[in-house]
Structure 1
Amino acid sequence: MGIWRIGTDSLARSRFTVSALAETVAALKSLHTGIAAPGQRDWLAAHTPGYRERVAADPFARALVRAAFRPRWMADLLTRPPAGPDETIADELARIRATPPGTARADLAGGPDAPLPAELAAPDLPERTVELLGWIWTRTVEPDWSRRRRILEADIVSRTQQLSSGGWAATLDRMRPGMRWLGDGRLQVNPYDLPAEDLTGAELLFIPSTTHRGWLGSAGPDRHAVFYPCTGSLADPADRQPTRALSRLLGPVRAGILTLLETPKSPTQLVALTGHGYGSVGGHLQVLLDAQLVRRRRSGRSVLYFRTPGGDLLVGAQHRDAAPPDPDE
């Protein structure tokens, strides 16, 4: 088993954060493998033709993705965690661009049994890697980044609430496939037969992404990261938005909240998902409670809201009967 030995100081310094580069790498991997994360089948179908055309015209890009994504392995060049919570995609890409070419080639090498193809011997390998990642970001992630970020941040809210009520063991167990807390400062990070690593004193980052399985990353001995599958579904906007009729009936914000409550969520999660203030969300939840369209229950220190059968019926009926918008309205 791959095991990290983690001291209490590392847990005290650990934090959750969002990474635009991680989301870009997850998108690239999905397009390369053809495996969609939950709720992304339509996204994959929409962007796969353009991606295939892009890599078909670029032998370097074809060689890069084949070297970077191998069974049970990802290249270190793409898995370095962000240096701080305020890093932008430009900051993260700049770090890859600044990688010495020899280091980049070593990061992509899979050992003596998997030599790199000739296309990756280019002296501008880091720059060309950034070009491909920038293309993926601009074409497939950035147009939907604000919504993606809200969902990723809502996942972080859920994890931190779980941490406050159940501790690290409950939070880390099965965060990603093969991962679980073993106790005595030992975190199993994957099921593979690998030497244990001592991370005492290192900073730990936990980064949600729309990935199918997740991956591990590091930036030297002092900063390590677990990139894990986000629990919130990135369903297509049309599947998560209230219908026009439901918005008329309840108001757009209230209808949106009711639509999001297909699974229980806390007010803080709803704030992250909707972008509305805590007071506004709380007021709308109270109206939905009074109308018996939602109920609430306590989970540890959190209060979770969920739809009643009546709320399910109302949302389901509206989506079944939804008609195309009237252009003359």
Structure 2
Amino acid sequence: MGLWRIDADVLAGSRFVVSPMAETVGCLAALTGQHRLSPAQREWLDAAGPAFTARWGGDDFALPFLRDAIRPGWLADFLVRPPRTDPPAFAEELAAMAATTDERARAQILETMDRPLAPVLLGDGLVARALELVAWVWEHTLQPGWPRRRRALEADIVARTDRLTTGGWAAVLDRMRPGMRWLGDGRLQINTYDYPPRDVTGTRLLFIPTTAYRGWVAYEEPADVHAVIYPATGWLAQDPDAVAPEALARLIGPARARILTLLAAPKSTTQLVALTGQALGSTGDHLRVLRDAGLVARRRSGRSVLYYRTALGDALCGG
């Protein structure tokens, strides 16, 4: 199995980061038909697939590149390098990808590959054509809706940091992605593949949520930064912009109606702040009014306070 050895200092200095490039590459994987898709990716593919086919369906490079560079169980390292800034901008991550030579990119694609490289990938300009493809997918299919998607990923980060305060790193890391297990004593099973153990002590460790089904790991040699790209939790990735009924918004105001709609599943104040973009004080005020009206109740879960709709709140949202 793939095993990382991690000390307490690495965990203490680790960070959660939202990466536009990681999300773009995760969505690119959905275009090849080789990977299991999350509900969020299916939604994206339904919306973006026709435009992608119209632009790239007749291109001799796009699909062979995606099938070889983003295979099940393998993703070429140059596509997603661990971010150096927080939060990373897409242009910075694209520039890091552009620094790769064609020869190095080909070598990374060929690792663990059991078939010859697609002939179109053997010539000059491999990285330049990959840059064009990745940039187009970002600009035309993801960037317009990025604020919504980013709020969902940030809400997942809030949920996991809440879990850190109640259950420690074991509760956060165990089963963060399929095949990943916290084994204790500084041992993190990163996947179930037969790779030699990797010592990540003395490096920086990043955790990057994505809407992909499985996620992956990223680092580049010499590795001073390691990243775990993991699937965002369930409903946080599926419907961060649930729309409140228009009549409800007229009755109690759009901000309170939005909060009430999002409380179809229990959430903390910090999760609601991440999902709505409202200030913490404003969110707390709205929750207080909703509680006073009997539309919302709250309960404690560990160190967190979760808010949820009452039967009356359910009835109003359903109406």
- Tell me the TM-score normalised to structure 2 length: 0.94
Shift of 1:115: 2.7
Q: Match for residue 6 of structure 2?
A: 6
* 1:312 corresponds to 2:318: no
Indicate which of 241, 244, 247 corresponds to 1:242.
244
Shift of 1:283: 0.4
Equivalent of residue 257 in structure 2, options 248, 255, 258? 255
User: 1:120 — aligned with what?
Assistant: 121
SS of corresponding position for 1:57:
coil
2:130 aligns to what?
129
Structure 1's consecutive aligned runs of 4 or more residues displaced over 4 angstroms after TM superposition are none
Cα-Cα RMSD: 1.6
Q: Give aligned pairs, total.
A: 315
> 1:162 Cα shift?
1.0
Task: Report the counterpart of residue 280 of structure 2 in structure 1.
Answer: 278
Any stretches of 5+ residues in structure 1 without a counterpart?
A: 318-329
1:252-298 deviation digits (Å, cap 9, x = unpaired):
00000011111111111111111111110000001111112111112
1:233 is matched with which residue? 237
Contact 2:39–2:238 (8 Å) recurs in 1: yes
- Secondary structure at the aligned position of 2:160 is classed as helix
**Cα separation, 1, equivalents of 2:30 and 2:316:** 35
Residue 47 (structure 2) pairs with residue 72 (structure 1): no
Task: Rate the CA distance shift 1:140–1:288 in 2: closer, same or farther, 3 A.
Answer: same
Q: Is the 8 A contact 1:30 1:37 kept in 2?
A: no
Stretches of structure 2 lacking an aligned partner (at least 5 in a row):
none
* 8 Å CA contact 2:102, 2:124 repeated in 1: yes
Q: Report whether the alignment pairs 1:181 with 2:185.
A: no
Q: Which string of whole-angstrom CA distances, capped at 9 and with x for unpartnered residues, describes residues 282-315 of structure 1? A: 0000111111211111222221111122222221
- Residue 239 of structure 2 aligns with an amino acid whose one-letter code is A
1:152 aligns to what? 153
SS where residue 59 of structure 1 aligns?
Answer: coil
1:56 deviation in Å?
2.2
Superposition map of 1:77-226 within 5 A: 77-111=78-112, 113-220=114-221, 221-226=223-228
Letter in 1 for 2:122: A
Give the residue type in structure 2 aligned to 1:281: T
Q: Is the 8 A contact 1:202 1:222 kept in 2?
A: yes
Identity fraction in percent: 55
CA distance in 2, matches of 1:140, 1:107: 27
Partner SS for 1:188: strand
Q: Displacement of 1:81 after TM fit?
A: 1.7
Matched with 1:47 is 48
Shift of 1:116: 1.6
Deviation (angstroms), 1:96 = 0.6
Give the TM-score normalised by structure 1.
0.91
Q: Mark the CA change 1:235 to 1:169 in structure 2 (over 3 Å): closer, same or farther.
A: same
Check the 8 A contact 1:27/1:140 in 2, yes or no: no
Matched with 2:292 is 290
Query: Partners of 2:225 and 2:164 in 1: how far apart?
Result: 21
Q: Distance in 2 between matches of 1:165 and 1:219?
A: 33
SS in structure 2 at match of 1:233: helix
The residue type equivalent to 1:61 in the other structure is A
